[in-house]
Structure 1
Amino acid sequence: MERKPHVVAIPYPAQGHVIPMMKVAQYLAENGLKVTFVNTEFNHQRVTKALSQTGNIHELVNLVSIPDGLESWEDRNEHGKLAEASVKIMPKELENLIQEMNRTESDDIITCVLVDFYMAGILPVVEKFGIKRAAFLPAPVALLALTLNVQKLVDDGIVDADGTPLTNQPIQLAPLMPKMSPMNFAWACFPDPSMGKPIFQSIIQNNESSKLIQRLICNSSTELEQPALNFIPNCSPIGPLLPSSHRLGKSAGHFWPEDSTCLAWLDQQPPNSVVYVAFGSFTVFDAIQFEELALGLESTNRPFLWVVRQDTNRDNEIEEAYPAGFAERVKNRGKMVGWSPQEQVLSHPAVACFISHCGWNSTVEGIGNGVPLLCWPYFADQFLNRSYIVDHWGVGLGLEKDETGIVRKEEIRVNVERIFDDEGYKSRAVKLQAKIFSSAHEGGSSHLNFHSFINWIKDN
């Protein structure tokens, strides 16, 4: 029997990294590779619990886990602590896993390890085994350009040695790339400022390890990020990773079970009428902001679908967080769910616009379905993605905070109306959708890049 090349895929242990890596894993498996997917033990339990509705993923991809270095009671939302623990613990755990798998699966010894770019600290271990070393970037290439140039930012006096911004002056790494405010650099805009230093230090360490990467692929396309791709020429775009563009099955890798009742609810709504609202896996609001958001959605007088995780409101239990009488007043046009099958929602003809935190997955899924966005970034690369959406692609608007740091209900209502009233946003979103699809379909640049990557893995 012919041996299959065997890929071990390792995402960074956060929801926005696990889902796109799982898409890559599925596509590799459907193209004749054996794939083992390595989550942390904590995330593995969440993913397998939420998987019950997700088709044949177990038949395609072998799911295994290793420790993340944190105690069971520690908060996985503390990115600085998670990054530090991962670098210390996970390389040794991976080394043990590779040794065990090569010993027990002699017919399918590991050919290639594919890591999340921001887990490159694992690669020195992989190099010891003489295995092919590849990395996947689930974020925009412009973020990679920024993080690879952190030492230059220090040398130029834009940030200090801990990554703290020393100026407000926006920078532009290359012509036609997005302008970035130092205050919104990915490590500098966390709600908890103490996270900035450990994340900045982990970026510096990661840059050193990233020199061991032999092939680098990313969830982007030339239509989305040509200037950034010119700036980082060894980064090969294979995106957008959308079911319709890669004929993938149902999305897997979610940390929460999807509530599919919202799809039947969408079926009852008129075409291009629904405001879809979702803020990813990390965004939290205080009681004032949560209430303003609820009242803002109510004031649009339009149907809305709102994804409200149990931990969305940091001050109150969700059941007590809504304004008095809100649920009763919006019961005929508002639906709230804990987690949604987002790609199916965004492809539904009833959805007219998307109020989003602008995570890269949500950004790509929004434009991949021709849906205009209202941008409400929270942290990390989300401010950069807003710049793409608003300033570069013209497919959305930014929601602005007032002097107290709150996005008010009137700001929400007014900008929802602007998106509905100006057909240019929808028109540009649909045009961009067509362009990125052409690159991902057979013969397009992303499609050719993906198959070049697969052939590199298969090539002895």
Structure 2
Amino acid sequence: MAGDGRSPTGRRVVMFPFPFGSHITPMLQLAGLLRARGLAVTVLHADLNAPDPARHPDFTFVSIRESLPDEVVSSPDMVEQMIGLNAACEAPFQAALAELVRGGGPREVACAVVDGQWYKMLGAATRAGVPALALRTDGAATFLTMLATPRLHADGYDRLDELVPGLEPLRLRDLIRVDGSDEETVLRFITRVTDAMRESSSGVVVNTFGAIEGAELAKIKRELSLPAFAVGPLHLVSPAPVGHGRPYAPDRGCLAWLDAQPPRSVLYVSLGSTACVDRAAFVEMAWGLAGSGVPFLWVLRPGSVHGADDVLPFPEELLDTVSCRGKVVGWSPQREVLAHPAVGGFWTHCGWNSIMEGICEGVPMLVQPCFADQTVNARYVTHRWGTGLEIGKVFERTAMARTIRMLMAREQGPQAPKERAHLLKMEASRCVGAGGAASLALDDLVEYMLGL
């Protein structure tokens, strides 16, 4: 346990992040914002991938001391793992929350905020006598598709390439899928999440802002008859950077390399901390980058290429091009890279944190979604916001090179990705400015929490 536990309001909020790095970071960012508005913060956490209390001295940390079966910890099926984590953590979470209520008195704990993937924890909080809100660390569009998915399945909707009514610009093929998980398992998980939201949640908090997802937020409110708070972009409004032990140490030397490049000339390439490609796709990506003539900074962490953890299979005839025009690193300080004046484009897997960082820095994107919410995000980048281009379903070097040159072209029209990206950057800046929408949403959220 850490933290002094004091609160000007005399009230406390309990946070329970999902034990994946991309989920822990926004939860702790939100915790910092609530702490800055006078609420004490207790972070209940799993021992799996636990946050470091030393990085957050203003919070109190309490482990739920869960016991995870080996098959859950090592499951290759991400969705089955999330289902197993819910089952294993429900009882210890409820016990730990009930203990906090007993220790602090009947009024100290105002509410709990649990990650949106913790569907069992919403009911557990209710049984512990604590109202609970869900934090969606993905976008409003993704959550809206989750709410609609059970209905679409029950209706037998199967028109893959037609726009889904009420979810435009999404097609059925853009909705959530997870490689390695069968359709029934994904549906079972989504149904449990949406059922729990309808039955046990007091509201939803979303890391987004109205300028990009205002219509989706309004639909969520109507669908659930619950308040929805758009408190993002959390990485911009958070009072201090949140450190949660990234999986790899960033190579900060890439910033010096960027310093030597002309403005808006470099394409930044990163498929995140989980996604990977096969050798054939990797080789086509490499040739596409080489053929584009564009300087590039490419993040290739261990495991980026199937079966090539130690030595990346660059064709020998490409090595000179890579060393002369490109830079390859194992990991990067992504926010600083995207903010660097030399970066003019972002080839991304479309994870929500990456999408938000790219939008907030005004960087146009090449989209290459891999799984989960990434297909939803990619479709929004290309067909709702107009801030990016599709890299293509078939990895072919000549087409890739052509698309890269289109994205990075200096002369573009008013509706081109570069101009659209600049406009959304200005919207994000207004949102987080003094008296902006993010601040007002956080004020409303705190008022709501104290009234529960």
Q: Distance in 1 between matches of 2:164 and 2:308?
A: 41
Change (3 A) 1:10 1:259: farther
CA contact (8 A) 2:362 2:421 kept: yes
CA contact (8 A) 2:178 2:186 kept: no
**Partner AA of 1:114 in structure 2:** V
Equivalent runs, 1:175-324 vs 2, <5 Å: 177-186=167-176, 189-192=177-180, 194-211=181-198, 212-233=200-221, 234-243=227-236, 246=237, 248-253=239-244, 254-324=246-316
Alignment pair present for 1:7 and 2:21: no
Equivalent runs, 1:81-230 vs 2, <5 Å: 81-102=80-101, 110-158=109-157, 166-174=158-166, 177-186=167-176, 189-192=177-180, 194-211=181-198, 212-230=200-218
Q: Distance in 1 between matches of 2:161 and 2:402?
A: 29
Change (3 A) 1:285 1:108: farther
Change (3 A) 1:127 1:442: same
Contiguous gaps of at least 5 residues in structure 1 = 159-165
Q: 381-390 vs 311-320, which deviates more?
A: 311-320
Q: Distance in 2 between matches of 1:202 and 1:266?
A: 42
List per-residue Cα deviations over 1:253-281 (Å, max 9, x = no partner). 33333332322322222211111111122
Q: Distance in 1 between matches of 2:102 and 2:329?
A: 45
**Partner AA of 2:446 in structure 1:** I
Change (3 A) 1:437 1:77: farther
Q: Distance in 2 between matches of 1:207 and 1:80?
A: 15
| Displacement after TM superposition at 1:326 (Å) | 4.1
Q: Secondary structure at the match of 1:59?
A: coil
**Partner AA of 1:248 in structure 2:** P
Task: Determine the structure 1 residue equivalent to 2:325.
Answer: 333
Change (3 A) 1:368 1:40: same
Task: Determine the structure 1 residue equivalent to 2:58.
Answer: 60
RMSD after superposition? 2.6
Q: Distance in 2 between matches of 1:251 and 1:203?
A: 29
| Displacement after TM superposition at 1:457 (Å) | 2.7
**Partner AA of 2:19 in structure 1:** P
Change (3 A) 1:156 1:107: closer
**Partner AA of 1:420 in structure 2:** M
Task: Determine the structure 1 residue equivalent to 2:347.
Answer: 355
Q: 449-458 vs 363-372, which deviates more?
A: 449-458
CA contact (8 A) 1:3 1:107 kept: no
Q: Distance in 2 between matches of 1:68 and 1:336?
A: 40
| Displacement after TM superposition at 1:400 (Å) | 0.8
Q: Distance in 1 between matches of 2:44 and 2:249?
A: 20
Alignment pair present for 1:400 and 2:392: yes
Change (3 A) 1:249 1:201: same
Q: Distance in 2 between matches of 1:77 and 1:309?
A: 19
| Displacement after TM superposition at 1:198 (Å) | 1.8
CA contact (8 A) 1:147 1:203 kept: yes
**Partner AA of 2:377 in structure 1:** N
Q: Distance in 1 between matches of 2:229 and 2:238?
A: 20
Q: Distance in 1 between matches of 2:298 and 2:197?
A: 39
Q: TM-score, normalised by structure 1?
A: 0.86
| Displacement after TM superposition at 1:111 (Å) | 2.9
| Displacement after TM superposition at 1:107 (Å) | 11
Q: Secondary structure at the match of 2:269?
A: strand
Change (3 A) 1:438 1:205: same
Change (3 A) 1:94 1:371: same
**Partner AA of 2:186 in structure 1:** I
Q: 294-303 vs 132-141, which deviates more?
A: 294-303
CA contact (8 A) 2:150 2:187 kept: no
Change (3 A) 1:353 1:203: same
CA contact (8 A) 1:238 1:440 kept: no
Task: Determine the structure 2 residue equivalent to 1:43.
Answer: 49
| Displacement after TM superposition at 1:396 (Å) | 0.8
Q: Secondary structure at the match of 1:113?
A: strand
List per-residue Cα deviations over 1:309-351 (Å, max 9, x = no partner). 2111122224243333544542243222222221111111111
Task: Determine the structure 1 residue equivalent to 2:37.
Answer: 31
Q: Secondary structure at the match of 1:345?
A: helix
Q: Secondary structure at the match of 1:180?
A: coil
Q: Secondary structure at the match of 2:56?
A: helix
Change (3 A) 1:64 1:255: farther
CA contact (8 A) 1:118 1:203 kept: no
Q: 369-378 vs 327-336, which deviates more?
A: 327-336
List per-residue Cα deviations over 1:51-77 (Å, max 9, x = no partner). 9xxxx7322334454437342894365
CA contact (8 A) 2:26 2:235 kept: no
Length, aligned pairs only: 434
Alignment pair present for 1:383 and 2:409: no
Q: 428-437 vs 68-77, which deviates more?
A: 68-77
Change (3 A) 1:125 1:168: same
Q: Distance in 1 between matches of 2:279 and 2:107?
A: 53
CA contact (8 A) 1:7 1:113 kept: yes
Task: Determine the structure 2 residue equivalent to 1:18.
Answer: 24
